[in-house]
Amino acid sequence: MSTPATERLLKSNDENFTIDDFKSNMPRWCTGCGNNAILTALQRLCRDEKLPREKTVFVSGIGCSSRFPHYMNTYGFHGLHGRALPIAEGIKMARPDLHVFVNTGDGDCCSIGTAHWIHAIRYNMNMTVLMHDNHLYGLTKKQASPTSPQGLQSNTTPRGTFLEPLNPLSVTLGITNASFVAQAVDWNPESLFEIISRAYRHKGFSFVRILQRCPEYVPTMFDHWMNHPDKTLLLTHENGMQVSPSLAATYKNQETHDPLNLDRAREIASMTEQVPVGILFHDPEATRYDDIRDPDRPISPETIRSALDSEFDKFTVWPEQ
């Protein structure tokens, strides 16, 4: 006899997961791609938080980073270019009980998806958003993106980009109702995992920009930061990121930064001589749109089935009577 669904769900909360439980297809990213480190961090998170796979969903747009749903053994939605956030918002509104993650790139989020990104920050719905920033379009073979550094030669800017890059941290911190803003780097797995974990536990729109290496098209882009630990500024606080003794021994340049201090967060976001790593801003009291609109319970399966049947009936070819 099969186990009732309710019993299976209750049982899943007590079982111990492994990372392998959350692995799906073999990643097709290039060897050395920073996306691999981000994938491992998220699989660790799902394992440690014991997230039921049937109640976890990864949403993406288009780009190298947006292949993420294919590699997670959970539910996933590989959407259109720049449209990951409205899809994720729709999922969260319909199923507030789900754990919703969004993986997006610097082109996907900061170019074609900019309008959705800005309003998603303002809506502050409960989801974890990871922006993989390698400073160019990788999937379409090295075009300049909004975050490309000035002077970068690419297939669309052979003479070098003319404009200063957009700063995703400064933009996010400038939007009304921003509630969680952090920055991580893929080559530091300990802080990467710590920041993603804190982003997940935040109840609201968690925006984490991750500086992510692309060994194929810009292999030396982040060497300056990687080879000089003193150029990294670790942001620590009792209400922010915690740093282990081993990490502190390598990255000695640290600042005790209160994540509630928005003015200082904006100053840190604008740094150019150092790369800040940690939680820049965290306001757990910011208004959440899904709290205002949600009736405090998931939509029942019967309601979902009825709505689908109603839509399908519009296109049904009924047999003649």
Q: Locate the domains of the chain by residue range.
A: 33-135+143-313
CATH of 33-135+143-313, one of 3.40.50.2000, 3.40.50.970, 3.30.200.20, 3.40.50.1100: 3.40.50.970
Give DSSP secondary structure letters for 233-299: EEEE-TTS----HHHHHH---EEE--TT-HHHHHHHHT-SSSEEEEEEEE-TTS--HHHHH--SSPP
Alpha carbons within 13 A on the beta-carbon side of 196: 29
Give DSSP secondary structure letters for 162-182: -SPPP-HHHHHHTSTT--EEE
In the chain, where do the E strands start and end?
A: 56-60, 75-78, 99-105, 127-133, 136-137, 143-144, 180-185, 205-211, 232-236, 254-256, 275-282
Find out whether 131 and 210 touch, Cβ atoms under 8 Å: yes
Q: Is the pLDDT of residue 7 over 60?
A: no
Query: Mind listing the pLDDT tens digit for each residue in 184-232?
Result: 999 999 999 999 999 999 999 999 999 999 999 999 999 999 999 999 9
- What is the Cα–Cα distance from 43 to 21, expressed in whole angstroms? 9
Query: Mind listing the pLDDT tens digit for each residue in 131-161?
Result: 999 999 999 999 999 999 999 999 999 999 9
Query: Mind listing the pLDDT tens digit for each residue in 221-241?
Result: 999 999 999 999 999 999 999
Strands 56-60 and 99-105: parallel
Confidence at 318, pLDDT banded by 50, 70, 90? confident
| Sequence letter at residue 133 | D
Confidence at 294, pLDDT banded by 50, 70, 90? low
- What is the Cα–Cα distance from 278 to 282, expressed in whole angstroms? 11
- What is the Cα–Cα distance from 122 to 18, expressed in whole angstroms? 36
pLDDT at 1: 40
Per-residue pLDDT, averaged over 152-180, amounts to 96
Has this prediction a pTM greater than 0.85?
Answer: yes
